Amino acid sequence: THRHTIVVIGGGAAGIATASSLLKRRKGLDIAIVEPSDTHAYQPGWTMVGGGVFEPEVTVRPMESVMPKGVTWLRQAAAGFRPEDNQVTLADGSTVAYDVLVVAPGIRLAWEQIEGVEQTLGRNGVTSNYRYDLAPYTWELVQTLRSGRALFTQPPMPIKCAGAPQKAMYLSCDHWLRRGVLGDIEVEFCNAGGALFGIADYVPALMDYVGKYGIALQLGNNLVAVDGPARTATFKTEEGEVTRDFDMLHVVPPQVAPQFLADSPLAAESGFTDVDQHTLQHVRYPNVFGVGDAGGMPNAKTAAAARKQAPVVAVNVLQQLSRKGPRAGYDGYGSCPLTVERGKIVLAEFGYGGKLMPSFPEWLVDGTKPQRLSWMLKADFLPWLYWNGMLKGREWLAGPGGLIAS
């Protein structure tokens, strides 16, 4: 059995940001990060890849390069949690012991819940910006489609970046409009949910684009099966099953907690880590914390949320190491820059209870309206902030986010 003071499960946005934040606060901490992947992805960039704005390569870096200096990288997957023994089991059967555990393995794309889709992803006009290898295919399809029907789907919540299914659609429509072919393409948004977007304040601006692009909204339509060669998609609706033909299908898969987490004593009913939504401390095991998409908090699952959560977890982990109670709190902040056209964004920023939490004064950026400055933020500033601020634990850049002064 290895032993480390702090063990972090997952070297994604949340795990790396939390480890960096810890090391900024206390140099020389003994931290191990359990992470099987060789590459680290800036997933918010995949929307831009699918829209032909970014090259795919700019969204990934070697995992090695984002690992904070001084941490021990255990290059394999975690397989199980034994919180009673303060141990984690790894895929090779070995165990790692900890004083404090940070759980951040992200959310799992449950492709298997859509019958037939896995066999046809990347072919027959079926694509998804939710995978690095498929986002370029979205852009390829958008460029070649001149007429026919394009379907964009959204599964039931929770998903990471709830706006991303629409972002893919608006950027595609914008391209077709500029090319003069939009009139020959029937666009449908097939959403398992009952509203265009969960926070009502942003809906009017989005509805303007739905109207401008002539999009048909099919609410309460949940994609359950795809036949790639036949180019048909089947949806469950209140009136029974509906099958639609398509020429292009952009799929967003249902998303669930990683299985090994859902099966463990750390899971809430939902399968995600059972933490207090403010302190991010586990409700049963005080030396365990949850951060990022794998957390059971009711915030919008986004990298922006992880950016605000990381320093909160770092402060409370250090408190725990000193045998003190948590001192920092997370307010539920999450952000979703909705790319309504190339060059303009509706910048949704909100916290728990749907409370709007704009980062900028309204005269500079009105989040409820499509704005050019927000596009510059998404296309230029946010990727830079991610790699150089958030992942490095530079919180004067990334914003302390909900820290309660002691």
If binding is defined by CB under 6 A, does position 35 make contact with ligand FAD? Answer: yes
Q: What is the size of the binding site for ligand FAD (CB under 6 A)? A: 37
- By residue count, the chain amounts to 406
Query: Contact letters (x/-) for ligand FAD, 295-334, by CB under 6 A?
Result: ------xxxx-x----------------------------
Residue whose entry in the numeric block shows the structure tokens 């000193």: 322
Q: How far apart are CA 307 and CA 257, in angstroms?
A: 20
Interface pick for ligand FAD out of 20, 47, 166, 172 (rule CB under 6 A): 47
**Angle between helix 135-144 and helix 164-179 axes, rounded to 10 deg:** 30
Instruction: Tell me the window of 183-191, 288-296, 308-316, 319-327 that interacts with ligand FAD (CB under 6 A).
Output: 288-296
Residue whose entry in the numeric block shows the structure tokens 């949850």: 290
Chain Cα centroid distance, residue 328? 23
If binding is defined by CB under 6 A, does position 104 make contact with ligand FAD? Answer: yes
If binding is defined by CB under 6 A, does position 67 make contact with ligand FAD? Answer: no
Instruction: Tell me the window of 31-39, 94-102, 137-145, 266-274 that interacts with ligand FAD (CB under 6 A).
Output: 31-39
Least distance (Å) between residue 115 CB and ligand FAD? 22
Q: Which amino acids are annotated catalytic?
A: 161, 336
Interface pick for ligand FAD out of 59, 124, 129, 218 (rule CB under 6 A): 129
Spatial neighbors of 192 by CB under 8 A, at least 6 apart, are: 153, 154, 155, 156, 220, 221, 222, 223
List, edge to edge, every strand of the sheet that includes 216-219: 126-127, 248-250, 148-154, 185-191, 216-219
Interface pick for ligand FAD out of 44, 83, 367, 402 (rule CB under 6 A): 44
Pairing mode of beta strands 232-237, 222-227: antiparallel
Spatial neighbors of 318 by CB under 8 A, at least 6 apart, are: 22, 25, 26
Q: How far apart are CA 365 and CA 358, in angstroms?
A: 8
If binding is defined by CB under 6 A, does position 260 make contact with ligand FAD? Answer: yes
If binding is defined by CB under 6 A, does position 138 make contact with ligand FAD? Answer: no
Residues within the interface to ligand FAD (CB under 6 A):
9-15, 34-37, 43-44, 46-47, 77-78, 104-106, 129-130, 160-161, 164, 258, 260, 292-294, 301-304, 306, 335, 337
